[in-house]
């Protein structure tokens, strides 16, 4: 029983100290893995963190954000930066890398929210169905479309994979 309570406490506190403050002096181990400090945000679905003393570029799994020069591209980047730049995050990944050697991952914020899903929920990313069959993302995208959030307020938003091939 004591083990169960301890595990539950670690899950609920995530990357935070028991006082509620972020531990900025070292990486923290949790039951879900190591927390990593975000050191840069390249765009809405790509950022840089420190992993094992080295910079690692991470690409968000399941989603595709608008390109920087595309409508809502800068808003997506600012949204990500506001939630994770200079902070600690946890990653859910399966050691998969894309052709650019970016680690493909879901990003869990200090408060436990999934940043990938937050982007879709707020209309700042598409569910990248070509690479993801996760129905949770499809549901979030449908809801954002219906509520005309973010990029879905535009009459005919162009998916980033189509924008890149113009």
Q: What positions carry a catalytic annotation?
A: 59, 67, 102
Three-state secondary structure call for residue 7: helix
CA dist., res. 140 & res. 145, Å (int): 9
Q: Which residues are CB-contacts of 90 (< 8 A; sequence separation ≥ 6)?
A: 14, 15, 30, 32, 33, 34, 35, 36, 107, 108
Q: What gap in Å lies between CA 44 and CA 99, rounded to an integer?
A: 18
Token pair belonging to 124: 């700042």
With beta carbons less than 8 A apart as the criterion, state whether 121 and 115 touch: no
Alpha-carbon distance of 58 to 84, in angstroms, equals 13
């Amino acid at each position: 029983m004591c083990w169960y309570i301890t595990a539950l406490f670690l899950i609920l506190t995530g990357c935070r100290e028991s006082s509620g403050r972020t531990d900025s002096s070292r990486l923290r181990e949790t039951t879900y893995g190591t927390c990593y400090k975000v050191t840069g945000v390249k765009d809405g679905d790509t950022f840089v963190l420190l992993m094992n003393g080295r910079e690692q570029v991470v690409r968000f799994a399941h989603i595709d954000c608008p390109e920087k020069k595309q409508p809502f591209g800068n808003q997506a980047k600012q949204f990500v930066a506001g939630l994770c730049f200079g902070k600690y995050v946890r990653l859910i990944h399966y050691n998969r890398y894309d052709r650019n050697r970016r680690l493909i991952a879901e990003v869990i914020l200090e408060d436990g929210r999934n940043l990938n899903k937050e982007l879709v929920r707020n209309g700042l990313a598409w569910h990248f169905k070509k690479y993801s069959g996760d129905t949770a993302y499809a549901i979030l995208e449908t809801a954002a479309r219906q509520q005309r959030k973010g990029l879905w307020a535009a009459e005919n938003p162009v998916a980033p994979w189509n924008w890149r091939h113009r």
